[in-house]
């Protein structure tokens, strides 16, 4: 059987990242061949990065002609096809599957082939997540236009959390209105938590179905997840990714009435709204003008962490707020798991690279039986999952290099027969 190509596509508001995988059959793990990314769509000039076979081919090349997600996809496809040393992809028809990370999937519980009906349903869901789904839907259109024989598959960041029980996902509001409008907790970062659960279970030599984790996906968007027997039973994000932990530009949880005291124009459309995407001033302020940026002037948490250690007052406050909110979820989820916890897991850019953040969080939850090893924490290594906890501690502390692109490709390969177009 000849190898087939899967593209894992992650389209945000300002970037498009594509990872290229090959697979032979549903029983074989996909092999990654290349990564290509265009960033800076909202702050031109856009820049291109391209790596193949473990080596950098193009680094931060400025592209003046690329200004939209459609432009980015066309440029990415042309770059791959015109790389004569990359023989796996020489024509658009060589791509069997394009996997699209869609943040908000509503009631979709599994990967879904995108046809006309599915696409219109996802468009309707964009009203729940106008700042998060639009980029993915633009790329679906672009792939369909340029690669008409490719099967487009939606992978939903909310699907992993379909197992959250009713008491945890239900808001205390009128339930007739809630059901009619889909107003409940959905949760996000699900592709990451699926990858974390599988790989941490393997590292712990346990079946995923018997693994209990408190998992932290910490990046510019941050969340926590409570995993019991391999399934999500609670998570910090809610109806949208705004709920829960603060992020680079997100407020995280605030008193719902705060925004009406912050501005008298909360319900008005923001200047960034379009005829297809309605964003209120409240959504704009709490999603794009809050978080660490509002506190410190920067979205770079590495800089914030360093300056906090040097005594910068606002950076220290931002660092301490983040730690405070994280440990609140760790404590809550520890109780939900009745103390039966296999590991506390750090993942995401900050979770994987932030040794000071990990140390501060683990120190605060030391009363629960978590302890960190200073040496391991400073140099955790390059494995997918590593222990940074102290030997003999009651519970393990792990760092997982999560990979949402690989998770999409892996799930796609396993379910290829069901997902393939008839």
Nearest CA to 351 out of 144, 151, 196 is that of: 196
Furthest-apart CA atoms within the chain: distance in Å: 63
Q: Are 293 and 318 in contact (CB under 8 A)?
A: no
For residue 191, give both structure tokens: 């592709």
What pTM was computed for the model? 0.94
User: Looking at 40-138, which runs of residues are DSSP E strands?
Assistant: 46-52, 55-63, 95-102, 112-113
CA atoms within 13 A on the CB side of 33: 17
Return d(Cα 162, Cα 17) in angstroms, integer: 26
Give, for all 422 residues of the chain, the pLDDT tens digit: 568 999 999 987 788 999 999 999 888 899 999 999 999 887 889 999 999 988 889 988 999 889 888 999 999 999 999 999 999 999 999 999 999 999 889 889 999 999 888 888 888 777 666 666 877 888 999 999 999 999 999 999 999 999 999 999 999 999 999 999 999 999 999 999 999 999 999 999 999 999 999 999 999 999 999 999 999 999 999 999 999 999 999 999 999 999 999 998 888 887 766 656 667 899 899 999 999 999 999 999 999 999 999 999 999 999 999 999 999 999 999 999 999 999 999 999 999 999 999 999 999 999 999 999 999 999 999 999 999 999 999 999 999 999 999 999 999 999 999 998 77
Q: Are 269 and 233 in contact (CB under 8 A)?
A: no
> Is 257 exposed, middle or buried (CB count within 10 Å of its CB: 0-12, 13-18, 19+)?
exposed
Report all structural domains of the chain as residue ranges with CATH numbers, in order of start.
Answer: 5-156 (3.30.420.40), 206-400 (3.30.420.40)
Return d(Cα 86, Cα 55) in angstroms, integer: 13
Cβ neighbours of residue 410 closer than 8 Å, sequence gap 6 or more: 29, 30
Return d(Cα 178, Cα 322) in angstroms, integer: 30
157 as an active site residue: the answer is: yes
Beta-sheet pairing, 396-400 with 343-347: parallel
For residue 65, give both structure tokens: 């002609």
162 DSSP 8-state letter = G
Nearest CA to 7 out of 43, 45, 36, 44 is that of: 36
Residue 178, number of CB atoms within 10 A of its CB: 15
Looking at 83, 157, 387, 403, which residue is catalytic? 157
Residue 214: strand pairing partners: 226, 344
Return d(Cα 52, Cα 273) in angstroms, integer: 38
Q: How far is CA 378 from the centre of its chain?
A: 25
């Amino acid at each position: 059987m000849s190898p087939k190509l899967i593209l894992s596509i992650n389209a945000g508001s300002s970037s498009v990242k594509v990872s290229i995988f090959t697979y032979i059959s549903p029983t074989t793990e996909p092999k990654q061949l290349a990564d290509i990314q265009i960033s800076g769509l909202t702050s031109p000039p856009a820049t291109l990065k391209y790596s193949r076979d473990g080596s950098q081919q193009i680094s931060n090349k400025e592209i003046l002609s690329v200004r939209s997600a459609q432009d980015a996809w066309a440029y990415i496809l042309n770059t791959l096809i015109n790389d004569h040393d990359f023989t796996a992809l020489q024509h658009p028809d060589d791509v069997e599957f394009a996997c699209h990370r869609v943040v908000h999937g509503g009631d979709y519980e599994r990967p879904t082939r995108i046809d006309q009906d599915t696409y219109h349903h996802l468009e309707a869901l964009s009203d729940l997540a106008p700042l998060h789904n639009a980029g993915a839907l633009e790329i679906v259109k672009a792939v369909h236009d340029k690669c008409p024989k490719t099967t487009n598959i939606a992978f939903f960041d909310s699907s992993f959390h379909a197992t959250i029980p009713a008491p945890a996902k239900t808001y205390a509001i009128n339930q007739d209105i809630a059901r009619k409008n889909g107003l409940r907790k959905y949760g996000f970062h699900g592709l990451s938590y699926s990858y974390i659960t599988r790989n941490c279970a393997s590292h712990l030599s346990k079946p995923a179905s018997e693994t209990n984790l408190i998992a932290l996906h910490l990046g510019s968007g941050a969340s926590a997840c409570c995993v019991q027997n391999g399934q999500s039973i609670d998570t910090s994000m809610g109806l949208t990714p705004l709920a829960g932990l603060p992020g680079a530009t997100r407020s995280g949880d605030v008193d719902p009435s705060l925004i009406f005291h912050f501005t008298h124009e909360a319900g008005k459309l923001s200047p960034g709204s379009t005829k297809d995407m309605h964003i209120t001033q409240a959504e704009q302020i709490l999603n794009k003008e809050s978080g660490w940026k509002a506190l410190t002037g920067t979205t770079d948490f590495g800089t914030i962490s360093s300056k906090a250690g040097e005594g910068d007052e606002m950076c220290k406050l931002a660092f301490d707020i983040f730690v405070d909110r994280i440990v609140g979820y760790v404590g809550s989820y520890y109780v939900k798991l009745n103390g039966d916890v296999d590991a506390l897991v750090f993942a995401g850019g900050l979770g994987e690279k932030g040794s000071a953040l990990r140390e501060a969080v683990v120190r605060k939850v030391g009363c629960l039986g978590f302890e960190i090893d200073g040496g391991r924490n400073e140099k955790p290594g390059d494995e997918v999952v590593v222990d940074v906890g102290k030997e003999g501690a009651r519970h393990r502390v792990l760092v997982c290099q999560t990979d949402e692109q690989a998770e999409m490709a892996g799930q796609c390969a396993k379910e290829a027969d069901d997902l393939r177009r008839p």
